[in-house]
Amino acid sequence: MELMPQEVEVWYLIPAIRRELTKIFLSEFKINQKQISDILGVTESAVSQYQNSKRAQDLKFSKKEIEKIKIFAKKIMVDKKHSKEYFFKLCLDLRGTKSLCDLHKKQDKNILKNCDLCLK
């Protein structure tokens, strides 16, 4: 199946960001699943699945990318009413990363090995 980079973002990047934010919110900010679900705009069940590694396991972030997510998690915790704006900016920052490009190539076998569409 041929996938557009935007489809990879929707199906893999957004859930993977939610997964990492959930882990950060739980471990570093000690907030509960209800608070996290409100911030991320997902159900408490989805938060539980992110927490227990039952959702969004296809995309693995680099250490540098995790650090970027942590920065945005802190921004969200300081200014929760703008959490969607921060989340959007984080998606833009992580768009075009090698991690996402590698996943795209893995999911779509029709992509040429030297393709760099995701990196543009």
* pLDDT for res 87: 95
Residue 63 has a CB neighbour count (10 Å cut-off) of 7
> How many residues in the chain?
120
In whole angstroms, give the CA distance from residue 115 to residue 118: 8
* Local confidence band at 118 (pLDDT 50, 70, 90 cut-offs): low
In the predicted model, what is the mean pLDDT of residues 53-72? 90
Structurally, the chain folds into a number of domains equal to: 1
Q: Which domain holds residue 49?
A: 5-119
* pLDDT for res 1: 67
* pLDDT for res 117: 67
116 pLDDT more than 80: no
In the predicted model, what is the mean pLDDT of residues 70-80? 96
* pLDDT for res 120: 60
In the chain, how long is the greatest CA-to-CA distance?
44
In the predicted model, what is the mean pLDDT of residues 29-58? 92
Three-state SS letters, 15-56? HHHHHHHHHHHHHHCCCCHHHHHHHHCCCHHHHHHHHCCCCC
Q: Is the pTM of this model over 0.75?
A: yes
* pLDDT for res 26: 95
